[in-house]
Amino acid sequence: MGKGMGGHPAFIKSIVELKSLIRSVCGSNPSVSSVKELLLLCRKIAVIHLRKKITTGRLNPSFFALSIDDIALDCIADLFQKDESGAMFQLVAYYGGLSLESTSEEELLVHTRRLVFSKVGQGLFRLYNEADPSLGKILRNLKLAIQSLQNFKVVDRFGEQYMVPAMCRTLEHLPPIDREGIMRHLGSQRSQSENIPSILANLSRALREQTSSSRLVSMMDLALAIRSMYAATDEATEPYGFIDESDRDNARNIIGQSVRMLKGEMLEQYVGRKGIDRTMYDNYFLVIQQNLEERIIGNDGELFSFYDRLFGFAGSLTKDEYQRMHKSKLEYLGRLAHERALRELKRQFR
Rounded Cα distance between 248 and 88, Å, is: 53
Q: How much is the average pLDDT of 279-294?
A: 92
- pLDDT reading at 243 higher than 80: no
What is the residue-wise DSSP string for 45-69?
HHHHHHHHHHHTTS--GGGTT--HH
CB-based contacts of 3: which residues, under 8 Å, 6+ apart? Answer: none
Q: Lowest-pLDDT range, 5-14, 122-131, 162-171, 297-306?
A: 5-14
Q: Lowest-pLDDT range, 7-16, 47-56, 281-290, 322-331?
A: 7-16
- CB–CB of 344/254 below 8 Å? yes
Angle at 257 between CA 253 and CA 260, to 5 degrees: 135
Q: How much is the average pLDDT of 116-126?
A: 90
Provide the edge-to-edge strand list for the sheet that holds 160-165.
152-157, 160-165, 217-218
- CB–CB of 157/56 below 8 Å? no
Q: Domain segments of the chain: what residues? A: 3-131, 135-234, 241-349
What is the residue-wise DSSP string for 199-239?
HHHHHHHHHHH--SS-S-EEHHHHHHHHHHHHHHHHHHT--
Q: Regarding predicted confidence, which is higher, 233 or 127?
A: 127
What is the residue-wise DSSP string for 59-128?
--GGGTT--HHHHHHHHHGGGG---TTS--HHHHHHHHTS-TTTS-HHHHHHHHHHHHHHHHHHHHHHHH
Rounded Cα distance between 101 and 139, Å, is: 41
pLDDT at 8: 47
Nearest to 4 by CA among 45, 53, 54: 45
pLDDT at 192: 44
Rounded Cα distance between 72 and 88, Å, is: 19
Angle at 192 between CA 186 and CA 195, to 5 degrees: 75
- CB–CB of 47/69 below 8 Å? yes
CB-based contacts of 246: which residues, under 8 Å, 6+ apart? Answer: none
Q: What percent of the chain has pLDDT over 70?
A: 85
Tens-digit pLDDT profile for residues 170-220? 998 998 887 777 877 776 555 444 578 888 888 888 888 888 889 999 888
Strand partners, 155: 162
Buried b (16+ CB within 10 A) or exposed e, 46-70: bbbbbeebeeebbbbbebbeeebee
Rounded Cα distance between 56 and 266, Å, is: 8
- CB–CB of 135/129 below 8 Å? yes
Ramachandran category for residue 6: left, alpha or beta (phi over 0 → left; psi -120 to 50 → alpha): left
The reported pTM is 0.57
- pLDDT reading at 328 higher than 50: yes
Tens-digit pLDDT profile for residues 206-222? 888 888 889 999 888 88
- CB–CB of 184/176 below 8 Å? no
pLDDT at 187: 64
Q: Would you give the end-to-end CA distance of the chain in angstroms? A: 50
Quote the mean pLDDT of the chain.
82
- CB–CB of 166/174 below 8 Å? no
Q: What percent of the chain has pLDDT over 90?
A: 28
Q: Give the CB-side neighbour count of residue 108, counting CA atoms within 13 A.
A: 24
- pLDDT reading at 103 higher than 90: no
Q: How much is the average pLDDT of 319-339?
A: 88
CB-based contacts of 116: which residues, under 8 Å, 6+ apart? Answer: 42, 45, 46, 49, 76, 159
Rounded Cα distance between 224 and 215, Å, is: 18
- pLDDT reading at 322 higher than 50: yes
Tens-digit pLDDT profile for residues 1-26? 444 454 444 444 455 588 889 999 99
